[in-house]
């Protein structure tokens, strides 16, 4: 069983601290108010143990092979970030908080290369993912897609490598390890993103949207946020949206441009030493409220699948659609109760309070 995460309140943007920890989105290399970086280890070019299913590879070898598929993303109005190519048809993944609703976006494949015009094909604020499209014929030398791994079988301690454009410094590589799994961070619209990969590979403003790689150079996540200590410095705690979420989201964005997300209408936390998701608040009039859930209920099962943590619950709901009816098993006052919840459509912003 994977170690469970403490359910912290992470803040997007700004230098506000919660229990002396603030979470900042790496929005752009030119934003001096964002968190500054910390050196990661081992240093680029040192040997890194291979991930599951392969032998050792050096960070230098991986960088030479993978970096042509990592891009600098520039947004009209001054924002910037990173992204990476996923197919030969011109699909590029980045963060929603990088691309947003921008009318004009360009990408650069080489620090000395000319910008290539891109369009925003779709965004999903709930997972902080965006899909860009470029014309492959506009890319000198052709597109070099990155190989996508699976985040399901990751283990803490495995190698982790980040490539991106921190502070606008395109082609920067840092390395470290997978520090933890199943973390939960806040999306740009305020809803939790479950199943997040934590790493100590240095991630800084401008890395957002770039790939987190395993020891074979395969993508295991999309670098999205950092936890910063006093003064906004990188503390060696970074977070990446898992690649399995990307695989689920991108085809929908390519088809529809957006995703209608299912909504339960609860906020939850962990309740050690018990497994489950402890209901803290209920949105009045929401699906959970109508179904009879109450604060203090411990959600232990959803449609026959065990719920070990709030992150588990979030991942299960992400795979559902508005209008689906699910059976939710809760523990209340020592008894187990089964409630039928008809999922609603997630609002544009998470309710406050």
Question: Which two tokens mark 146?
Answer: 């990155």
Q: What CATH number does the domain containing 319 carry?
A: 2.30.42.10
- Any domain includes 17: yes
Concerning whether 187 is annotated as a catalytic residue, the answer is no
Contact by Cβ (8 Å): 97, 128: yes
Contact by Cβ (8 Å): 185, 26: no
- End of a domain among 203, 238, 257? 257
Domains of the chain: total: 2
- End of a domain among 257, 273, 298? 257
Print pLDDT tens along the chain (353 aa): 444 333 332 322 222 222 223 334 433 333 322 232 322 333 333 333 344 445 568 999 999 999 999 999 999 887 899 999 999 999 999 999 999 888 899 999 998 889 999 999 999 999 999 999 999 999 999 999 999 999 998 999 999 999 999 999 999 999 999 999 999 999 999 999 999 999 999 999 999 999 999 999 999 999 999 987 665 557 789 999 999 999 999 999 999 999 999 999 999 999 999 999 999 999 999 999 999 999 999 999 999 999 999 989 998 998 899 999 999 999 999 899 999 999 999 988 887 65
Q: Is 194 left (phi over 0), alpha (psi -120 to 50) or beta?
A: beta
Question: Which two tokens mark 242?
Answer: 């898992």
* Residue tagged active-site, from 128, 182, 200, 244: 128
112/165 same-domain check? yes
- Any domain includes 353: no
Concerning whether 80 is annotated as a catalytic residue, the answer is no
d(CA 179, CA 349): 30
Concerning whether 135 is annotated as a catalytic residue, the answer is no
Our measurement of the distance from residue 69's CA atom to the centroid of its chain's CA atoms, rounded to an integer in Å, reads 19
* Residue tagged active-site, from 67, 97, 151, 182: 97
Q: What CATH number does the domain containing 196 carry?
A: 2.40.10.120
- End of a domain among 238, 257, 276? 257
pTM reported for the whole predicted model = 0.80
* Residue tagged active-site, from 67, 80, 208, 267: 208
Give 28's DSSP letter: -
d(CA 161, CA 181): 16
Using alpha carbons, select from 315, 311, 322, 312 the residue that is nearest to residue 345.
322
- Any domain includes 351: no
196/326 same-domain check? no
d(CA 197, CA 71): 21
Domain residue limits at 194: 1-257
Backbone angles phi, psi at 90, to 5 degrees: 100, 20
> What pLDDT score was predicted for residue 116?
97
């Amino acid at each position: 069983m994977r170690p469970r995460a403490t359910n912290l309140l992470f803040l997007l943007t700004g230098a506000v601290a919660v229990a002396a920890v603030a979470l900042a989105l790496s929005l752009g290399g030119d934003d001096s108010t964002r968190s500054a970086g910390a050196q990661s280890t081992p240093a680029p070019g040192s040997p890194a143990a291979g991930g599951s299913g392969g032998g050792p590879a050096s960070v230098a070898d991986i960088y030479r092979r993978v970096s042509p598929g990592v891009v600098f993303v520039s947004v009209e109005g001054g924002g910037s970030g990173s992204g990476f190519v996923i197919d030969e048809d011109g699909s590029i993944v980045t963060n929603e908080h990088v691309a947003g609703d921008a009318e004009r976006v360009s990408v650069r494949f080489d620090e000395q290369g000319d910008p290539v015009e891109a369009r925003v094909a779709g965004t999903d604020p709930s997972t902080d993912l965006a899909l860009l499209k470029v014309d492959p014929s506009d890319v000198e030398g052709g597109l070099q897609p990155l190989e996508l791994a699976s985040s399901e079988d990751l283990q803490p301690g495995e190698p982790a490598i980040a490539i991106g454009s921190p502070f606008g410094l395109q082609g920067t590589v840092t390395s470290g390890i997978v520090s933890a799994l199943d973390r939960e961070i806040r999306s740009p619209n305020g809803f939790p993103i479950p199943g997040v990969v934590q790493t100590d590979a240095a991630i800084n403003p401008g890395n957002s949207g770039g790939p987190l790689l395993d020891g074979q150079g395969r993508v295991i996540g999309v670098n999205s946020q950092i936890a910063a200590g006093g003064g906004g410095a990188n503390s060696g705690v970074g977070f990446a949206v898992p690649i399995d979420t990307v695989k689920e989201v991108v085809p929908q964005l390519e088809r529809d441009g957006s995703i209608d997300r299912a909504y339960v209408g609860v906020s939850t936390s962990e309740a050690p030493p018990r497994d489950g998701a402890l209901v803290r608040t209920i949105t009045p009039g929401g699906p959970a409220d109508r179904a009879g859930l109450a604060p203090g209920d411990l959600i232990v099962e959803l449609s026959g699948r065990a719920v070990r943590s709030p992150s588990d619950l979030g991942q299960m709901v992400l795979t559902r659609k508005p209008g689906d009816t699910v059976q939710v098993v809760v523990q209340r006052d020592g008894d187990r109760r089964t409630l039928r919840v008809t999922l609603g459509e997630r609002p544009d912003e998470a309710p406050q309070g």
